[in-house]
Amino acid sequence: METPKETRERPTPGGPQDFIRETVARDLASGRHRTVVTRFPPEPNGYLHIGHAKAICLNFGVAKEFRGRCHLRFDDTNPSKEEQEYVDSIQEDIRWLGWDWGGHLYFASDYFGQLYAWAEDLVRAGKAYVCDLSADEVRAYRGTLTEPGRPSPYRGRGADENLDLLRRMKAGEFPDGSRTLRARIDMAHPNLNMRDPVLYRILRATHHRTGDEWCIYPMYDYAHGQSDAIEGITHSICTLEFEAHRPLYEWFIENLPVPHKPHQYEFARLNLTYTVMSKRKLLDLVQNGYVSGWDDPRMPTLAGYRRRGYTPEAIRAFATKVGVSKANSTVDVAYLEECLRDDLNKRAPRRMAVLRPLKVVLENYPEGKVEEMDLVNNPEDASAGTRKAPFSKVLYIERDDFMEDPPKKFFRLSPGREVRLRGAYFITCTGVEKDAAGEVAALRCTVDLHTRGGSSPDGRSPKATLHWVSSGHAVEAEVRLYDRLFKAENPDKAPEGQDYKVNLNPDSLVALAGCKLEPSLAVCKAGDTVQFERLGYFCCDRDSAPGRPVFNRTVTLKDTWAKIQRRGK
C-alpha cells in the first residue's frame, strides 16, 4: 500500500467540509444510520498529547454536530504498560478540552469475557489455532512485502486440540510467551496484517481493573473492532497508519457473530514541527529525567500545555483550523502559538513585571511619596476596566531597556535620553552607578511631573515606552522562561548513531529568580494567565507559595523563532 507523500503546510481558516463529516451526513441522509455514534479509544499507557486533541475534537465534535453521541473507551488490553494514573489523566484532559462523554464510559476490559467466547467460536469454526512459535519465529515466518509467509508448523491442528489448548492457556497452564492464539487467514496475503495475526498471548500481569483474573490478553487489533461492534459504533474514526489494518478489522467483523457492523475511516494524524509525539519517546523523556514529568510545560501533552497556560479554546480553534484530510502533512508549531496568542490577547489581563531588574532612582521625586496610577487591564476588552499601580521614588525597569552606549536604532533609556513609563511619567537618565565589577547597578533619573499619565502638555512624545514596578511595593517571584523542547524542526532526524535526544534544546528552560512584579500579582492562583506587558503571556504555576509566586512563560508576544531563523539565513 502506497503511503501518501508528506507535505509541509501552514493551514488557513475555513475551507471545505471535511470528508468525515461529508460521509456522516450522507449516511444519515440515506438512512444507513439513524444516529451517529463515534468513540475516542485511547490506550491508558501515557498522557494525551496535542495529536490526541485533534482526534478528540473530531470524534466528539462530529457527534455533537450531528446530534449523536461519542463514547470514551479505554483500550486497556496490555496491563504491562497501563496504569490508573493514565486513565485519570485522560479523563481530566478531555473534560478540560470541553468535551463530555456523559454516561458512555467504557473499557475494552469490560468485554474480556465476550471476546474470549468469540475466540472459542473462531477455533470451533477452524478459523483460529494455537501456535507454539515464539514471537521472533512468528515474525520470521510472516515473510516480507515481496515474499509470502510460511505456514506455522502448528497451523494444521484440529479444532478440538486447539480448543483444549486455548482453555489451558486461559487456565494458566503454560508459561508467558510460550503459546499464542492466531487467526487462520492467508499466509500469502499481500497485506502482512492478514498473515495469521495473533489474537491472544499469555501474559501474567496485574490489570488495573481486572486484577489477576486473566493471564491471557487479547491483542489490540482483535479487541478494538469487536469493542466497536459491541457498543454500536457507526463511524470508527482512526488515524492513517491504521488503514492497512482495516482489512483485518473487517475480517473479524464478518467472521464473528457481532451485534453491529461498524466501518473504519482513517484521517491523517497531526504532526508538528519541533515536536515529538511518539508515546515511547515521551515516556523516555519522562523516565530518564529530561523533563520534570508528563506535565512539564515543555511537553506536548495536554497536561503540559495546561500547566504552561494554554487555553482549551485555543487548542480547539487550532484543531478546527488544521482541518481533517487523508494526506499526511506537518503543521508549523508557530500556527498553534498564533492560535493561542489570538485567544489570550482577548482574555488575558495586562500586568507589569520586570524579569531582570535594574534599579532607577528618581532624584527629583519627593521622598516617601506614593501615587496610584490608573492602568488599563486589557485594551482589547473595555469591560475589564482599570487597576491601580503604586508609583514611588525608586523603581525597577528591565535591564535590557538601558544601554550606556546605545547603537543608532536603540530608542530605550540611555544617558541623556527621555522615555515614557507606562501610564506614569516621562523620565530622563542623568547618571549611572556601577558596582565593583564595572556593571551598571542603578540609574539616576529625573521625572517630568507635568507628564502624569504618559502625555506632555507641550506635545513631545518619546519613542519608547517602558514598563516598570515600584521597588517598595514589588512582589518577588520566580519566572520560568520555557521555550521549544527541541531545536530542530524535525527532531526525529539525527546524525547517524545518535537518537532524537541530540536535538534537545539546551535553552528550553531558563529560570529567573528575584523578578519584580506589580503587587496585584501577589494574589494569583495556579492556572491564572496574564500578559506581562512587552514580555509575553505567563501562567501562575502550581509551585507558587503565598507571597512567592512562580510564573511560567506561556508564549512570547511575537514569533521570536521566525526572527532567529531569518537572521540565520
pLDDT one-digit tens code per residue, 348-390: 999 999 999 999 999 999 999 999 999 999 999 999 999 999 9
Domain ranges of the chain: 7-267, 348-473
- Are 353 and 517 in contact by the 8 Å Cβ rule? The answer is yes
- Read off the pLDDT of each residue in 431-456 and give the average, rounded to a whole number: 95
Q: Which of 39, 43, 307, 553 is catalytic?
A: 43
- For residue 276, is pLDDT > 80? yes
Please state, as a whole number, how many other Cβ atoms lie within 10 Å of the Cβ of residue 563: 10
- Are 452 and 424 in contact by the 8 Å Cβ rule? The answer is yes
Q: Is the dihedral of CA 346, 348, 350, 354 positive or negative?
A: negative
- For residue 49, is pLDDT > 70? yes
* pTM to 2 decimal places: 0.92
Topology of the domain comprising 348-473: Ribosomal Protein L25; Chain P (2.40.240)
User: Is residue 563 very low, low, confident or very high in pLDDT (cuts 50, 70, 90)?
Assistant: low
Residues 6 or more apart whose Cβ sits within 8 Å of residue 314: 336, 339, 340, 342, 343, 344
Q: Which comes out higher in pLDDT, residue 224 or 2?
A: 224
Share of the chain above pLDDT 70, in %: 95
DSSP structural state of residue 172: T
- Are 361 and 444 in contact by the 8 Å Cβ rule? The answer is yes
Our answer to whether residue 313 is catalytic in this structure is no
- Read off the pLDDT of each residue in 415-423 and give the average, rounded to a whole number: 96
CA 436 to CA 509: how far, in whole Å?
30
- Are 123 and 169 in contact by the 8 Å Cβ rule? The answer is no
User: Is residue 569 very low, low, confident or very high in pLDDT (cuts 50, 70, 90)?
Assistant: very low
- For residue 496, is pLDDT > 60? yes
Our answer to whether residue 359 is catalytic in this structure is no
User: Is residue 8 very low, low, confident or very high in pLDDT (cuts 50, 70, 90)?
Assistant: very low
User: Is residue 547 very low, low, confident or very high in pLDDT (cuts 50, 70, 90)?
Assistant: confident
Confidence (pLDDT) at 329: 86
- For residue 342, is pLDDT > 70? yes
3.40.50.620, 3.40.50.300, 3.20.20.70, 2.100.10.30: which CATH number matches 7-267?
A: 3.40.50.620
Q: Which of 21, 64, 204, 279 is catalytic?
A: 279
Our answer to whether residue 279 is catalytic in this structure is yes
Q: Which of 21, 209, 269, 399 is catalytic?
A: 269
Please state, as a whole number, how many other Cβ atoms lie within 10 Å of the Cβ of residue 124: 13
Q: Quick one: 135 exposed, middle or buried, by C-beta within 10 A (0-12, 13-18, 19+)?
A: exposed
pLDDT one-digit tens code per residue, 211-267: 999 999 999 999 999 999 999 999 999 999 999 999 999 999 999 999 999 999 999
Share of the chain above pLDDT 90, in %: 93
First-to-last C-alpha distance (Å) of the chain: 39
CA 355 to CA 538: how far, in whole Å?
12
Distances 109 to 6, 238, 240, 493 between C-alpha atoms, Å: 36, 20, 25, 38
* 3-class SS of residue 124: helix
Mean pLDDT of the chain: 94
Retrieve residue 387's grid coordinates. Answer: 487597576
